[in-house]
Structure 1
Amino acid sequence: MQQLLALVPALPLLAAVLLMLAATRIGTNGVRILGVGSVALSALLACRIAVAQIGAGWAVQPFDVTLWHWMRIGDFAPDVTLHLDGLSLVMMLVITVIGFLIHLYASAYLDGDPGYARFFACMNLFVAAMLTLVLANDLLLLYVGWEGVGLCSYLLIGFWYDDPANGRAARKAFIVTRVGDTALISGLFLLATSFGTLSIPSLMQHATTSWPIGTAMPTLAAFLLLGGALGKSAQLPLQTWLVDAMAGPTPVSALIHAATMVTAGVYLIARTHVLFALAPDALLVTGLIGAATLLLSGASALVQTDIKRVLAYSTISQIGYMFLALGVGAWDAAIFHLVTHAFFKALLFLAAGAVILRMHHEQDITRMGGLRTAMPGVFVVFAIGSASLAALPLVTAGFYSKEAILGGAWDSGPSGRLLWCAGVVGAFLTALYIFRLLFIVFLGEQHRHPHGVTGWRIGVPLGVLAILAVVGGGLQTPALLGGIAIMPGILGGVFGSASHEGALALLPLVLASLVPLAGIALAWRWYGGGLASRFETQFTGLLLRGWDFDRAYDRMIVQPLMWLVRVNHHDIVDSFYEGLGKLAQRTHAGLSLSENGRVRWYAGWLAAGSVAALAIAVLS
């Protein structure tokens, strides 16, 4: 059973290679079977491994699989080793199961697209890279998967490259995430030079025994890893790429936002939580960044008119919740919310894609409206996803995972109470913007009529995800609501005893439960009651532009660099080497004058040279 672990990432990787090499020979059905089937097999293998490795009390029996020895440079000898424990098992299940549902959906969504095979090749490569990232037992192999998902995101965001705007969005995602990746690789260099290894278990053990809590080295290392996490997970101040990533096809948006790339940063911090525990300052900054991100992004989502941009800002905000949880040491709560977020956010993106597809690829919500009767099934699943995102009390998965985060914040001291307040305000904003979207699209005045029907390859993933968005909360519940501890049991071997046991006091629990209801009520009053225009007129500009981060970066970074390019268009460095070349040419021209064909001149120069050589020998 343990040897089967290598097949989980290998199957989609092999399918990606075959699709790149032989797509024209196997036809559309072959592409569909290979692209979707490989991820389905990976999901089945992942589930089989989970059944075999989960024991009593939901504890996971960890193991390693060494595939080969990678290299040896002195004492540095990393292996290509896969590691399965509770954390990597949860991530593997999320990536493969949600990835399969998205692939099945995409097989219908992209029907007839001339880049059908190229799309599935990139999607399968994306899944393989993410699986490599989460199963790696070594930070070097993790970095290979890390850069792999970055490459695939570039290819998929710019999939429809005929439109220059899509190419710009892809380049923006690639460049902004490279900023974070530079910090990450610097952190890896620091760890490798400090301990001579990048094996995650060895690193964590060495860090614990060698670095006292709060000293400079663990703090610097943690901040460098945090920089990488901020880029991949689109947190302040590197969040600007994610909204523009909506240029890709909707299944790409669902895969990036729900099951793969944006969760990589959360996973990295959770995987290296021992190091972050040695750096309290880095933990505090992590929580503060998460809180600020969830509030600013939630506010921006309030006024967006593009259905996918609303969900994009929502993703940034929800990842902020996970960073908030990491910042207060609620490791299991962060991973729990990662799981439930994968359920309801994939559902919302795929449901939005179904709307877009039947609305002639229209994404402006002000041109929709009244779709409840025309698309009743999509309305139901979108309402379920919206309720789970808004953390509707008791009946949705999102409620239980957010309560776990808020409980961890409440129990973590004065700074945690401040973050708890930010989380509650964020919950209010979340309910407000997602139900504003629901009311406008499905209950508002109808402007256009949808065409066609929603086929089974789109309907089945929506139905499965809708069920998961409801029952997924049963993985972990507060003590006041049953005290189910499946997720803490699975993750206990990674994080020790559960970082939050669900013992949130009754009053904070009730307050946090009522806030989403208040947000839904206000959304109905404003948007269902026709009072939205007054609010949007006052705040639309700044919020639509995402708090002007792009404009600030353009003025502070892009324009100064462009000025330097214009000033230095001849390149001062090249001028130095061009000068050397010109000096050599002129020296050659001068020396060539001595080549006149006259033997007397040659003999004279030989004599002069001999005299000069003798003089140097005598004088020295």
Structure 2
Amino acid sequence: MITLLVFLPLLTALVAGLGGRAIGHTAAKAITTGGLFVSAALAWTIFIGFWLNEAPATTVPVLDWIESGALRVQWALKVDTLTAVMLVVVTSVSALVHLYSWGYMEEDPSQSRFFAYLSLFTFAMLMLVTADNLVQMFFGWEGVGLASYLLIGFWYTKPSANAAAIKAFVVNRVGDFGFSLGIFATFLVFGTVSIDAIVAAVPQHAGQTFSFLGSTVDVMTCLCLLLFIGACGKSAQLGLHTWLPDAMEGPTPVSALIHAATMVTAGVFMVCRLSPMFEASETALAVVTIVGACTAFFAATVGMVQNDIKRVIAYSTCSQLGYMFFAAGTGAYGVAMFHLFTHAFFKALLFLGAGSVIHAMHHEQDMRFYGGLRKHIPITFWMMTIGTLALTGFFFTAGYYSKDAILEAAYASGTASGTFAFTVGAVVALLTSFYSWRLVFLTFFGAPRWAGSEHIQHAVHDAHHGHDHAHHHDDGTAGYHPHESPLSMLVPLFVLGAGALLAGIIWHGAFVEAEPGAAFWRGSLAFDTHLMHALHEVPAWVVWTPSIAFFAGLGLAWNAYVRRPSIPKWWRNEVPGLYEFLLRKWYFDELYNAIFVRPSLWFGRLFWTRGDQQTIDRFGPDGAAEMVVVGSNLARRFQSGYVYSYALVMLVGLAAAAAWMMR
């Protein structure tokens, strides 16, 4: 079952990618989508078995992969509770994205290639989450990096898409370098890359140290921080986050697949999979907690001022990943995975809902040119409202259970870093509510502002065969009539909406409660039952903090974007420096451009002109060729056709030879 589940997306990707032209777009889409729904059905079967405590953890060998000295790597598929959770998340979201793409990509001439890339990405992610060892995990890790590059740059005729794909690839290489160093160091310390063997041997190596540059360094801290660098790159944590917003250049289904539930959660999964290692280092846990909390705050502040609907949701993803990491850093790995699980439903719902809005608004993504859409696309409006309620933690939605559990666990941990994370997390909950409802109010409420959109103007112009009718409409619509998305795009919204409402209620006990949680996870991650008990004993004000933040953020957003729409403009004029700072994303891109990009380009040009052209080429192939040319020109002068010229040359040569012999 697990073998079919994992390799079916690869098979369908090969069929669609290599045979797409032969079989046609419809067949390619049907094969890839059908394969993903089969994998999703198998994944749910496996997950329910673990949820009901009926399925045993197993490892299915595939083949002997690498054998070199002491390094022995077997390609095997590891199936336990942690894997089962990720299988459901990956295959469910991917299957729905495949179905959604039938409508969204209907007019694209490269549909077969797109669906092949989606399935290839899914296969790489499945390889990552079923990895039995670190080398296999790295294989899947790099596979999703490659597939994300292909998907983000799918519209390769757009320079911005190519730049975003390259940026994602390069930034992830930085994190992956740290991850690879962590794998090398782990093999050096443990003598194996098998995850089970490493986890079992952690107590033997806890507390060991080594000397580096005159300092004493804890072995487990070093290993965990190197591995965490990889997680920061893949999961877009502060410092290595700059690729995530630019990745919005890809088609909207790609945004939902990569940023909602799959690629960006790989880092969280890796930390939870290796949680016994992190438990052996308080320093590493504190770093994970602080980085996660700072990421959540950073992304939330930036999301408050973004105008592109997809970028707001992208920064929301970055912020929620910060929540997951500081939950893991406080030792609540089950809570981190619970938020990963629930987040997959409501964030995929929001991304696909945003795609439905963009589809209705003729590919306009700037929320400043929306307004009043709830009457025109009511199904999309209600689905996105459900997603927003879940994201912001409204009572009894999926986000309410998981986000509250994260903040309560951070407070209950009793550590300084946990207290810091709780404080920051409470502020971030308010900011999340504000920018999420800002998105809803700007998009669906108020008067239409479509007339200012170039995309809408083009749509109206094309519809009237070159006659501009925009000036005949003073209601802000420019005469444009948005339309609801086709059924293939709406069905995934209904499914994800159900998950956003019900996932928390149904699976809260299994993921988070002390006794049911211990039985559910069964050692697949470090599950602290004492912390889970303490989580339910925190003061009432801690429990109510997320809900208070929800209503405060909702009230602020309603006041600023519905009741008094002049407030945002006033705020921009009053504190232009702060607004520009947030709009420019804390100037991270500018800073990296000054520190890394420009010096790299300068060195590249220097080595190219001075090193390659003026040194290597000058004294190498170009110089040798020039010598041949000069020698040929010189020799040509003696080829005059006169006998006395040849006799002179022979005489000079004879004299030179005689002089050489007599010296």
How high is the TM-score relative to the length of structure 2?
A: 0.85
Residue in structure 1 matched with residue 307 of structure 2 by the alignment: 305
Instruction: Determine which of 26, 32, 47 is the counterpart of 1:50.
Output: 47
Q: What's the CA shift for 1:35? A: 1.6
Instruction: Determine which of 477, 492, 500 is the counterpart of 2:532.
Output: 500
Identity, in percent, stands at 39
Residue in structure 1 matched with residue 381 of structure 2 by the alignment: 379
Q: What's the CA shift for 1:40? A: 0.5
1 CA distance for matches of 2:6 and 2:113? Answer: 19
Residue in structure 2 matched with residue 469 of structure 1 by the alignment: 500
Going from structure 1 to structure 2, the CA distance change for 1:496 and 1:565 (only over 3 Å counts) comes to: closer
Q: What's the CA shift for 1:397? A: 0.5
Within a 5 Å distance, the mapping from 1:101-140 to structure 2 comes to 101-140=96-135
1 CA distance for matches of 2:56 and 2:618? Answer: 64
Going from structure 1 to structure 2, the CA distance change for 1:300 and 1:75 (only over 3 Å counts) comes to: same
Residue in structure 2 matched with residue 13 of structure 1 by the alignment: 10
1 CA distance for matches of 2:8 and 2:291? Answer: 37
Residue in structure 2 matched with residue 527 of structure 1 by the alignment: 561
* Deviation readout 1:290-312 (Å, 9 max, x if unpaired): 11111111011111111001001
Q: Does the Cα contact within 8 Å between 2:376 and 2:483 map onto a contact in 1?
A: no
Q: What's the CA shift for 1:31? A: 1.4
* Deviation readout 1:491-512 (Å, 9 max, x if unpaired): 2422245452441422210223
Q: Does the Cα contact within 8 Å between 1:133 and 1:144 map onto a contact in 2?
A: yes
- Structure 1 counterpart SS, 2:157: coil
- Whether 2:583 is the aligned partner of 1:544: answer yes
Residue in structure 2 matched with residue 164 of structure 1 by the alignment: 159
Is the deviation greater in 273-282 or in 335-344? 273-282
- Whether 2:287 is the aligned partner of 1:285: answer yes
- Structure 1 counterpart SS, 2:202: helix
2 CA distance for matches of 1:486 and 1:534? Answer: 52
Residue in structure 1 matched with residue 74 of structure 2 by the alignment: 79
- Whether 2:30 is the aligned partner of 1:33: answer yes
Going from structure 1 to structure 2, the CA distance change for 1:606 and 1:382 (only over 3 Å counts) comes to: farther
Residue in structure 1 matched with residue 260 of structure 2 by the alignment: 258
- Whether 2:520 is the aligned partner of 1:490: answer yes
What are structure 2's unaligned runs of at least 5 residues? Answer: 210-216, 451-479, 636-649
Letter in 1 for 2:521: L
Residue in structure 2 matched with residue 611 of structure 1 by the alignment: none
1 CA distance for matches of 2:621 and 2:448? Answer: 71
Within a 5 Å distance, the mapping from 1:216-227 to structure 2 comes to 216-227=218-229
Q: What's the CA shift for 1:432? A: 0.4
2 CA distance for matches of 1:417 and 1:339? Answer: 24
2 CA distance for matches of 1:217 and 1:577? Answer: 48
Alpha-carbon RMSD across the aligned residues, in angstroms, is 2.7
Instruction: Determine which of 243, 246, 249 is the counterpart of 1:247.
Output: 249
- Whether 2:593 is the aligned partner of 1:554: answer yes
Q: What's the CA shift for 1:407? A: 1.5
Is the deviation greater in 395-404 or in 214-223? 214-223
2 CA distance for matches of 1:485 and 1:110? Answer: 46
Q: Does the Cα contact within 8 Å between 2:50 and 2:84 map onto a contact in 1?
A: no
- Structure 2 counterpart SS, 1:399: helix
- Whether 2:485 is the aligned partner of 1:454: answer yes
Q: What's the CA shift for 1:391? A: 0.7
* Deviation readout 1:141-180 (Å, 9 max, x if unpaired): 1111101100111111111111111111111111111110
2 CA distance for matches of 1:355 and 1:584? Answer: 63
Is the deviation greater in 538-547 or in 266-275? 538-547
* Deviation readout 1:567-597 (Å, 9 max, x if unpaired): 333354883696577999999999xx9xx99
2 CA distance for matches of 1:6 and 1:124? Answer: 16
Letter in 1 for 2:187: A
Letter in 2 for 1:251: P
Residue in structure 2 matched with residue 199 of structure 1 by the alignment: 194
Going from structure 1 to structure 2, the CA distance change for 1:156 and 1:310 (only over 3 Å counts) comes to: same
Residue in structure 1 matched with residue 458 of structure 2 by the alignment: none
Within a 5 Å distance, the mapping from 1:185-196 to structure 2 comes to 185-196=180-191
Going from structure 1 to structure 2, the CA distance change for 1:242 and 1:504 (only over 3 Å counts) comes to: farther
- Structure 1 counterpart SS, 2:63: strand
Letter in 2 for 1:508: V
Is the deviation greater in 425-434 or in 539-548? 539-548
Q: What's the CA shift for 1:601? A: 9.1
1 CA distance for matches of 2:141 and 2:609? Answer: 37
Q: Does the Cα contact within 8 Å between 1:356 and 1:362 map onto a contact in 2?
A: yes
Letter in 2 for 1:99: S
Letter in 1 for 2:547: S
Residue in structure 2 matched with residue 408 of structure 1 by the alignment: 409
Going from structure 1 to structure 2, the CA distance change for 1:366 and 1:484 (only over 3 Å counts) comes to: farther
- Structure 1 counterpart SS, 2:72: coil
Q: What's the CA shift for 1:210? A: 2.3
Letter in 2 for 1:9: V
Residue in structure 2 matched with residue 268 of structure 1 by the alignment: 270
* Deviation readout 1:506-527 (Å, 9 max, x if unpaired): 2210223211111111111111
1 CA distance for matches of 2:108 and 2:396? Answer: 39
Letter in 2 for 1:270: C
2 CA distance for matches of 1:397 and 1:450? Answer: 34
- Structure 1 counterpart SS, 2:78: strand
1 CA distance for matches of 2:253 and 2:549? Answer: 32
Q: Does the Cα contact within 8 Å between 1:63 and 1:83 map onto a contact in 2?
A: yes
Within a 5 Å distance, the mapping from 1:334-345 to structure 2 comes to 334-345=336-347
Q: Does the Cα contact within 8 Å between 2:377 and 2:483 map onto a contact in 1?
A: no
Q: Does the Cα contact within 8 Å between 2:230 and 2:267 map onto a contact in 1?
A: yes
2 CA distance for matches of 1:468 and 1:55? Answer: 19
Going from structure 1 to structure 2, the CA distance change for 1:204 and 1:31 (only over 3 Å counts) comes to: same
Going from structure 1 to structure 2, the CA distance change for 1:279 and 1:369 (only over 3 Å counts) comes to: same
Residue in structure 1 matched with residue 461 of structure 2 by the alignment: none
2 CA distance for matches of 1:485 and 1:436? Answer: 40
Letter in 1 for 2:536: A
Is the deviation greater in 224-233 or in 449-458? 449-458
- Structure 1 counterpart SS, 2:448: coil
Going from structure 1 to structure 2, the CA distance change for 1:450 and 1:173 (only over 3 Å counts) comes to: farther
Going from structure 1 to structure 2, the CA distance change for 1:371 and 1:500 (only over 3 Å counts) comes to: same
Letter in 1 for 2:59: D
Going from structure 1 to structure 2, the CA distance change for 1:573 and 1:192 (only over 3 Å counts) comes to: farther
Q: Does the Cα contact within 8 Å between 1:85 and 1:493 map onto a contact in 2?
A: no
How high is the TM-score relative to the length of structure 1?
A: 0.90
Q: Does the Cα contact within 8 Å between 1:43 and 1:96 map onto a contact in 2?
A: yes
Letter in 2 for 1:456: L
Q: What's the CA shift for 1:490? A: 2.6
1 CA distance for matches of 2:517 and 2:351? Answer: 25
- Structure 1 counterpart SS, 2:24: helix
- Structure 2 counterpart SS, 1:118: helix
Q: Does the Cα contact within 8 Å between 1:303 and 1:544 map onto a contact in 2?
A: yes
Q: Does the Cα contact within 8 Å between 1:365 and 1:441 map onto a contact in 2?
A: yes
Residue in structure 1 matched with residue 455 of structure 2 by the alignment: none
1 CA distance for matches of 2:39 and 2:339? Answer: 23
Residue in structure 1 matched with residue 457 of structure 2 by the alignment: none
Letter in 2 for 1:515: A
* Deviation readout 1:103-154 (Å, 9 max, x if unpaired): 1111111002111001000000000000000001011011111011001111
Letter in 1 for 2:501: V
- Structure 2 counterpart SS, 1:360: coil
Instruction: Determine which of 203, 209, 215 is the counterpart of 2:204.
Output: 209
Letter in 2 for 1:569: W
Going from structure 1 to structure 2, the CA distance change for 1:569 and 1:166 (only over 3 Å counts) comes to: same
What are structure 1's unaligned runs of at least 5 residues? Answer: 609-620
1 CA distance for matches of 2:607 and 2:22? Answer: 50
Residue in structure 2 matched with residue 153 of structure 1 by the alignment: 148
* Deviation readout 1:343-388 (Å, 9 max, x if unpaired): 1000000011001001111111111101111111111111110011
Within a 5 Å distance, the mapping from 1:352-371 to structure 2 comes to 352-371=354-373
Q: Does the Cα contact within 8 Å between 1:341 and 1:398 map onto a contact in 2?
A: yes
2 CA distance for matches of 1:586 and 1:250? Answer: 55
* Deviation readout 1:400-420 (Å, 9 max, x if unpaired): 101111121011114112211
